[in-house]
Amino acid sequence: MLLPSFQYHEPKNLNEAIGLLGEMGGGASILAGGTDLLVNMKKGKLSPKNIVCLSRVEELKGVKRNHGSMSIGPCVTAADLKDREEVKSDFSALAEGAGLLGSPLIRNLATIGGNIVTARPAADLAPPLMVYGARVVLKKTEGERILPLEEFFLGPGQTSLETGEILCSIVLDSPPSFSGGGYVKLGLRKSLEISLVNVAAFLSLDGPSGPVRDARIVLGAVAPKPMRSSSAEETLIGGEPDERLFQIAAEKAAGDARPIDDFRGSAEYRREMVKVLTKKALVKAYEEAKLREWRRWK
């Protein structure tokens, strides 16, 4: 199927991009990797009058460290995230999620910004970003605002992004000593698969053997948007990190999940898999947390 007709715009910098979006109001779509936009246009689901391509906007590319945080440009690809040493060392769950997204070809095109803005309940990057406390920087002609990522998602395909606004960066604070993350995904195939269930976990310990100082669990594909499991987190905080605690927390997470029945799996099966995957993600997070101080001094 041919693409519908549209006006193509290629701004040279961020200010020009913001200006174009402000002028066009809601009649423009942003093109970064194109793995979702072009497919939806071919299927007739979208027919924007204008497309603003970000390929020449250097401010939206790259990964930068400054003052105890990391800033990731929305045009950074999943392949780049997966392979970057600074991401793998400090935000391993994010690198894992990026490595499980789509196929090698898709990872070379798909961007972190696109994966966030499309707001799919089963997105691979949202849960790990949320467990690390990610914030999104949003700009338009009237100014800038910063939101916690979990407040950015409103529902399937819905975000708090306003007309004329653009996602400029994703900010992550450097994790503390004795902390770690883990990401686990379940699909029906090994690649090119939308998650049936995905879980990200983050643990911060008082020392290499605990107790747990802070915990975050985010569940994907089991609610209208990625969701934190508050009851699992409350169970973990203050406890000794061991298999028994992780099992109890996993059961709490399964209780918080709100899965549905569809052709890919039943709600009952998804809930059971939340339990299995949460425990696996917690074990990964704990194994990394025990080593983080050692790795920083290595």
What's the CA gap between 218 and 281, in Å, rounded? 10
Between 83 and 296, whose confidence is greater?
83
- Residue 190 confidence (pLDDT): 59
- In the chain, CATH 3.30.465.10 sits at 58-173
- Residue 189 confidence (pLDDT): 59
What's the CA gap between 74 and 277, in Å, rounded? 28
Position 4 pLDDT exceeds 90? no
- Residue 193 confidence (pLDDT): 63
pTM: 0.93
Q: Under DSSP, is residue 59 helix (H, G, I), strand (E, B) or coil?
A: helix
Query: Class of the 179-293 domain?
Result: alpha beta
Q: Under DSSP, is residue 145 helix (H, G, I), strand (E, B) or coil?
A: strand
Distances (CA, A) of 41 to 115, 135, 222, 260: 17, 29, 27, 28
In the chain, what percentage of residues exceed pLDDT 90?
Answer: 79
Position 114 pLDDT exceeds 90? yes
- Residue 191 confidence (pLDDT): 57
Average pLDDT over residues 36-56: 85
Average pLDDT over residues 168-185: 97
Architecture of the domain spanning 58-173: 2-Layer Sandwich (3.30)
Both tokens assigned to 220: 């994907």
Average pLDDT over residues 189-215: 87
The average confidence (pLDDT) of the chain is 92
What's the CA gap between 246 and 153, in Å, rounded? 27
Tell me which residue of 218, 220, 213 sits closest to 198, measured CA to CA. 220
Position 163 pLDDT exceeds 70? yes
CATH 3.40.50.2300 fits 7-53, yes or no: no
